[in-house]
Structure 1
Amino acid sequence: MLKGFFNVPKAINEPVKSYAPNSPEKKAVLTAYQQMWKAQIDVPLYIGSEEIRTGNTRNITPPHDHKHIVGVYHLAEKSHIEKAIANALDSKTKWASMAWEQRAAIFLKAAELIAGPYRAQINAATMIGQSKNIYQAEIDAACEFIDFLRYNVEFMTQIYSDQPKSTSDVWNRLEYRPLEGFVYAITPFNFTAIAANLPASAAMMGNVVIWKPSDSQVFSAKIIIDIFKEAGLPDGVINVVFGDALIITDTIIESRDLAGVHFTGSTHVFKDIWAKIGSNIHHYKTYPRIVGETGGKDFVVAHPSANVKQVVTGLIRGAFEFQGQKCSAASRAYIPKSLWTEVKQQLITDVKSMKMGSPEDFGNFITAVIHEGSFDKLAKYIDQAKKDSDIEIIVGGNYDKSVGYFIEPTIIVTTNPNYVTMETELFGPILTLFVYEDDQWEATLKLIDNTSEYALTGAIFSKDRYAIEEATVALQNAAGNLYINDKPTGAIVGMQPFGGARASGTNDKAGSAMNLLRWVSPRNIKEVFVTPEDYRYPFLGE
């Protein structure tokens, strides 16, 4: 084994490419998009060194053209999950004992593969499979994915270098062991970078992983797998399974070797997993680490001093980028009466200017929501809003799923601050506004804090520093990520560690060393150089 205190490359955030007309990156991603659109991929289970095709398959269809099939993926049975657990545990000893710099090199190489030869592929796959426009794909599937890998390597070295105090006769050393067992990573459809980071962050710290991607993210998950393989990730370190979430999760939770769960998804599912682990706690070798980022009902509050154009831009981008399918999306807003007329006019103008359609057309700001279940749920809320007396839909309100799952960006104004769409996470392009009296600023802050069970993100718009301070204090428990004069989305790795509390999760802050610490179990070693040979202490001399 090589010896040395190794310095890793300084982590930098990947620059976002512009995809301007006639740019080489635009040409590359459109070429990749068209090739992948015409191809038919066949995605197996990845268990150890095997690619397993069960023959029980589901189609992969783009949300913006749900009759078009771009491939299939294979579904696991219980026996496959048991095999994945066994393969992960068989791989554990060799992977955990690998020198940290060798693990780091794999993920640093993966980052450069994404930045270079795989950039167009992973962006195109995200555009096709998740209906992201090119900008949303670029900041997610390329840049944030790269940032997670680069910064996690840097965070890993920071953790390893954090050592206790020693003296001339006692050397204290802290080693950061991987968890005893395996980690179960469950990832969502909406961010390719999150889907990659949840298994990769645990693996980077020496753990073996069983990864279940969302059924709606398989297309880009295949590219993630290809990248990790080309980067040199050994077989069995990250095992990938698809299929019935209940069967997979229940089989994994039955294993006494479960050491941790890394989760992003719905609050309800996360609580169910937590409850099952709790009821099974006497069975495990160790207490499983449970890390989760779940839902949000994220707010924007404008003070009477706020700049109207800034508020409107924050609302439009925060609520409607990627069709509002971000856990951080602005979905409820509080506007002072003195600004309302101007805010309303600008919101309507901006929404009406948006184009909607396939992400292949770079003129489209809005594309489709992820699947029919999401479409039907959102349409139901819109239909109910049209019937309710305390509601006005000021723009949008139409939908069509004949070709793709298209929901118009919709803005609802309510006179009831506790209306259902002010409290319930919708995960779609629906923004609900409440107009408050200017002299009710303090009361509105209390209302914001008490309205939702979630506490993920929020934004304050104001020119008044006293008002900003007051809101920051009043809303200290209402958001794990708070934005001042900016939209409540777009956390950047290494700059804004991301996560929330209350029903929004365990707040373990992806994009920081705090998250990586959850995937190690420290052991302190004390070595004494001159060991005592007599039990008697000096005070016994009398």
Structure 2
Amino acid sequence: MRSLFVLQRRTVAQLAHFQPPKHVKNEAVKAFGKADQLDWDLLKSELFSLSDTATKVPLVIGDKEFYDRDLAKQTNPGNHQQVIAEYALANEKDVKSAIEAAQSAKKDWINASFDDRAAIFYKAADLISTKYRYRILAATMLGQGKNVYQAEIDAVAELADFLRFNVKYAHQLYNTQPPESTDGVWNRVEYRPLEGFVYAVTPFNFTAIAGNLVGAPALMGNTVVWKPSQYAILSNYTLMQIFKEAGLPDGVINFIPGDPVKITSGVLSDPNFNALHFTGSTKVFGDLWANIANNTASGKYKDFPRIVGETGGKNFHLVDKSANIQHSVLSTIRGAFEYQGQKCSATSRLYVDAKVWPEFKKQLVEKTNDIVPTNTSATNGLHQFMGPVIHENSYKKLSTAIDQIEVDPELTLLAGGLHNDSEGYFVKPTVVETKNATHPFMSTEFFGPLLTVYVYEDLDQVLQQIDSTTKYGLTGSVFASDRKIIRKVQEQLRYSAGNFYINDKSTGAVVGQQPFGGSRMSGTNDKAGSASILSRFVTPRAIKENFYEISDYKYPSNYQ
């Protein structure tokens, strides 16, 4: 049956060259306003369903699901007594099996037509935006502590956008062909999948990122071993089920939760490892890079592995005296405290011109103090702006830093400063001012709702400090109405941010509009949401076909 399926796909590919739908557009974000009662009812139904009993999550390797392994639990970070999933943990044998399944599936998947592969991911996007919309919303809210709007823009809109726009970008890449051929010659380029398998290590904070990290290489004909975050198991398994329902063949993506060190050790020791697709901490990414480099130097791999990663950020807002103060304040609150500051692009450094600081401070403190973190997946918290931080380690890191403010003479607490973990991991949005532009709070990534402010008088000096204070280069914003200031900041901070915003917050890149990624220690800047990242998961072959025949080995210049 399998051989017949492969034959049918090849036949279709020979009959026509198909064009993907021309009008791919961003998935509309549901507002979940007061009038949207049906949306609320459907969401609540899924929340109750997923809260009623813990979901049993297996390993998914090839055509099999494995439940009979050591188990771990995923809890609701807003109510850490609530277990929402019990999931199987992959052992060393499972890692090997996942690699074998990926290699076996590659034999057919590499020969599947692009049209077949594209149709699967188009179907998955439609399932996400229709049949499974409220389920994946609920899973993301319960497991990752998002409010409904943050879950909607992530687990539905951005996820569907990645899957659809990737097809558009892949088609563009495949159509990038040599512009010239001499008479009697046809030049063309084949964009082959990588020869080995791809290892995808996905984060807790965006369900969409998880989908893109596994979906992008798979679309290009690769097979994937997927290690999901232990704090996003429920939503990620839901996504795996959606891929299967959409028609993804067995073994193309293999889902193996478990100990990250053990799984990674098994994956990176395999000679067929060919690419890392990673989102997570800078430290972990650096360690993986070193491990891969050492293995490459020792000749372990068949190929030089591709390393694609997006890591951390210490992202800035710069507010000039010509800025609209209210807009700048509200944008900063959104940038710093949406999803509890747990976005790699979240605003965590704020530089404000001294001339407007008094009014800016007044509005910032007033608005920040209005925010109360709540269990956003509970009935009484569904409408709240902020939820819990993701886990105990994050809570401890943030609470320790916040407690240091009181005893640090270079820091002044302006708002927040409270935290409580008795029921969930709740941290009040906190704003602190420093007189030291190079204070550790201006360079340390806390990955939470902690914003540090520096009030400046000399723009040239503060631009130098913004550029040099941290090792990151992910996102940043300037707020100003003076075009000379905007131009100056944009040019002098050219390498300080891979995504630079003018009069907008440092978060919220949209697939198809702002390709996302940063350099320096923020990652490889391969720009998710663009054709650029897809090019990392193919290995082109130039093909020259000659139609003329020669009659002599000599050239005219060889004769007198």
TM-score range, shorter chain: over 0.9
Q: How many angstroms apart in 1 are the aligned matches of 2:549 and 2:86? A: 65
Q: How many angstroms apart in 2 are the aligned matches of 1:319 and 1:338? A: 22
Match among 124, 130, 133 for residue 138 of structure 2? 124
CA contact (8 A) 1:54 1:76 kept: no
Give the structure 1 partner of residue 357 of structure 2.
340
Counterpart code for 1:467: I
Q: How many angstroms apart in 1 are the aligned matches of 2:439 and 2:198? A: 40
CA shift, 1:50, in A, is 0.8
Counterpart code for 1:191: F
Q: How many angstroms apart in 2 are the aligned matches of 1:405 and 1:489? A: 23
Q: How many angstroms apart in 2 are the aligned matches of 1:27 and 1:19? A: 10
Give the structure 2 partner of residue 242 of structure 1.
257
Give the structure 1 partner of residue 20 of structure 2.
8
Give the structure 2 partner of residue 502 of structure 1.
520
Alignment of 1:467-482 (within 5 A): 467-482=485-500
Counterpart code for 2:429: P
Match among 475, 496, 501 for residue 483 of structure 1? 501
SS across alignment from 1:483: strand
| TM-score for the superposition, normalised by structure 2 | 0.96
Matched, 1:35 2:49: yes
CA shift, 1:71, in A, is 2.1
Match among 310, 318, 329 for residue 312 of structure 1? 329
Give the structure 2 partner of residue 459 of structure 1.
477
SS across alignment from 2:83: coil
Give the structure 2 partner of residue 531 of structure 1.
549
Provide, for residues 238-262 of structure 1, a one-character-per-residue CA deviation record: whole Å limited to 9, x for no partner. 0011111111111111011011000
Give the structure 2 partner of residue 203 of structure 1.
218
Counterpart code for 1:262: H
Runs of 5+ unmatched residues, structure 1: none
Q: How many angstroms apart in 2 are the aligned matches of 1:270 and 1:531? A: 53
CA shift, 1:362, in A, is 2.8
CA contact (8 A) 2:204 2:229 kept: yes
Match among 197, 208, 226 for residue 182 of structure 1? 197
Q: How many angstroms apart in 1 are the aligned matches of 2:440 and 2:41? A: 44
SS across alignment from 1:482: strand
Q: How many angstroms apart in 2 are the aligned matches of 1:103 and 1:479? A: 34
Matched, 1:296 2:313: yes
Counterpart code for 1:397: G
Provide, for residues 132-151 of structure 1, a one-character-per-residue CA deviation record: whole Å limited to 9, x for no partner. 00000000000000000000
Provide, for residues 50-84 of structure 1, a one-character-per-residue CA deviation record: whole Å limited to 9, x for no partner. 10124311111100000111220111111110111
CA shift, 1:168, in A, is 3.3
Counterpart code for 1:258: F
Q: How many angstroms apart in 2 are the aligned matches of 1:310 and 1:482? A: 17
CA shift, 1:90, in A, is 0.8
Q: How many angstroms apart in 2 are the aligned matches of 1:541 and 1:296? A: 65
Q: How many angstroms apart in 2 are the aligned matches of 1:212 and 1:191? A: 14
Q: How many angstroms apart in 2 are the aligned matches of 1:390 and 1:456? A: 26
Matched, 1:421 2:441: yes
CA shift, 1:335, in A, is 0.5
Alignment of 1:431-450 (within 5 A): 431-437=451-457, 440-450=458-468
Q: How many angstroms apart in 1 are the aligned matches of 2:93 and 2:69? A: 15
Q: How many angstroms apart in 1 are the aligned matches of 2:214 and 2:195? A: 16
Q: How many angstroms apart in 1 are the aligned matches of 2:459 and 2:550? A: 68
CA contact (8 A) 2:128 2:156 kept: yes
CA contact (8 A) 2:373 2:427 kept: no
Give the structure 2 partner of residue 270 of structure 1.
285
Q: How many angstroms apart in 2 are the aligned matches of 1:54 and 1:295? A: 36
CA shift, 1:22, in A, is 4.3
Give the structure 1 partner of residue 5 of structure 2.
none
Give the structure 1 partner of residue 163 of structure 2.
149
Counterpart code for 1:300: H
SS across alignment from 1:112: helix
Q: How many angstroms apart in 2 are the aligned matches of 1:377 and 1:215? A: 19
Give the structure 2 partner of residue 159 of structure 1.
173
Runs of 5+ unmatched residues, structure 2: 1-10
| TM-score for the superposition, normalised by structure 1 | 0.99
Q: How many angstroms apart in 2 are the aligned matches of 1:447 and 1:433? A: 13
Match among 54, 66, 91 for residue 52 of structure 1? 66
Provide, for residues 496-538 of structure 1, a one-character-per-residue CA deviation record: whole Å limited to 9, x for no partner. 0000000000000000000000000000100010122311111
Q: How many angstroms apart in 2 are the aligned matches of 1:163 and 1:507? A: 24
Alignment of 1:302-381 (within 5 A): 302-360=319-377, 361-381=381-401
CA shift, 1:353, in A, is 1.8
Q: What count of residue pairs does the alignment treat as equivalent?
A: 540
CA RMSD of aligned residues (A): 0.8
Match among 269, 273, 278 for residue 254 of structure 1? 269
CA shift, 1:359, in A, is 1.2
Matched, 1:21 2:38: no
Q: How many angstroms apart in 1 are the aligned matches of 2:541 and 2:395? A: 49
